[in-house]
Amino acid sequence: MTDMYTKAVNTGLGKTVAAKLGLPRPALLRRHQPGATLTVGPVLLVADAASATTATAVGGVLRGWGLDVTDRFEGSVPDRGPEPTNGHPTHESVAAAEGETRWGAIVLVVSEVARPADASAAVLALPKALKRLAPHGRVVTVSRAAAPGDAPELAAARRGFDGFLRSLAKELRAGATGNGIVLADGIPADHPSARAALRFFLSAKSAFVDGQLLTVGSADAGHVESAQAWERPLEGKVAVVTGAARGIGAAIAKTLARDGATVVCVDVPAAGEGLARTANAVRGTALQLDVTAPDAGERIIEHARTRHGRLDVVVHNAGILRDKLLANMDPARWDSVVAVNVEAQLRINEALLAAAARGDVDGLRIVSLASTSGIAGNRGQTNYGFTKAGVIGHTEATAALLAEHGGTANAVAPGFIETDMTRHIPFVPRQVARRVNSLQQGGQPVDVAEAVAFLASPLAAGVTGQTLRVCGQNMVGR
């Protein structure tokens, strides 16, 4: 669905009128196109003195991708040898360049900050650079997770960067976004999943992901990083997508296929025509199935293994709405939403875990669709909010069970996405819902699909039990 307002204020007369009247001007977001550059300009790498070693590793990753990187390490840093001649500038040349360069991305490495007072050196190096952040630029922080047993000042410093990143993201404009990578203790910044998260956040694939933090845990991605791994990370994999007949489900199926997967498209028999259309578009297979059926999990596994020989990814996208104020809620509305949105996922996951225990599936990736309604709530959606919060809960619990078999479980929580379903929201509430995020617009189904594809990829093996919001940084909730 087209957001006519956003289109109008970015072209011709509408752009002029919006500027004169002081109306909001949401940017036309830069989304992924094959062959496009990773960033829209050079990268400024900023770190405090204590994090210099980690930042050097991050810089090596960025340069390995062919990016133009400028280092700025604040404070007294360890001697790194003679002045480099391979494009690494001096501190003085950085200061000179900062006044003229339009940064495509700023990466702030603060993983070793130990006290809140120590944060200022690196943080206060950013203001001038932020004024030179290009439209559609990226800010990415690399911090470290607070852990049980941390000293209070260490926990304060580490958690402080969570609030810092979310607040900074709300200050960015012109389609720029801010997101953070949080390293678990002992995880290096060049861990394969940290690299994958960094690349995702820098890329146009994360266009509608803003103000989000992803924790990278101890799992070994065990996957060779190469151009093929980035362009076709799901090559040779078999993925199942429920609710694939239209909307977000169809976009997920197409994105997984683009990334190399063979896709099994699942939906109810009543959606057979749309299901066949999606399956044909991705050159996959269609499975007409009600996900609430007691044997849905077994049938999904059987279809994937019989037709395609394996099962690697399951995306729980099927879901329904039956909105009503709780004062007017009836059992049919409540029970049907619970049955489809959460009970079906739980039952299918039980079958998947049993299959993993038997050795029928290995390294399974489960990605479930939650919602910002399950995080912040929404009027008239007590049933929907209950189920989507339940999805977040079972994802966290399932991640631990699946880890025993080399798998991961994550969730994606969309905000307002332009679909046929949101098209039917009355005009005024629809406009409000579009604007109450940092990017001041609704997302597209492909934005959700890109997040799902990232979490489903082998390179994201170190990310599990997480819920990644795709909401343009909705102003409510975390």
Do residues 197 and 223 touch, judged by C-beta distance below 8 A?
A: no
Q: Which of 384, 407, 461, 467 is catalytic?
A: 384
Asked whether the CA dihedral 271, 246, 312, 448 is positive or negative, the reply is negative
- The upper half-sphere exposure of residue 254, i.e. CA atoms within 13 Å in the direction of its Cβ, equals 16
Do residues 107 and 189 touch, judged by C-beta distance below 8 A?
A: no
CB within 8 Å of 301: residues ≥ 6 apart: 311, 351, 352, 355, 360, 361
Asked whether the CA dihedral 410, 417, 230, 110 is positive or negative, the reply is negative
Beta bridge partners of 272: none
* DSSP designation for 83: P
CB within 8 Å of 363: residues ≥ 6 apart: 312, 405, 406, 407, 458, 461
Phi and psi torsions of 308, nearest 5°: -130, -5
- The upper half-sphere exposure of residue 142, i.e. CA atoms within 13 Å in the direction of its Cβ, equals 33
Q: Which two tokens stand for residue 265?
A: 């498209």
Three-state DSSP at 8 gives helix
Burial of 284 (0-12, 13-18, 19+ CB in 10 A): buried
Q: Which two tokens stand for residue 88?
A: 């690494």
Do residues 339 and 390 touch, judged by C-beta distance below 8 A?
A: no
Q: What residue type is 97 in one-letter code?
A: A
Is 384 an annotated catalytic residue? yes
d(CA 442, CA 423): 11
* DSSP designation for 184: P
* DSSP designation for 341: I
d(CA 207, CA 450): 9
- Known catalytic residues? 384
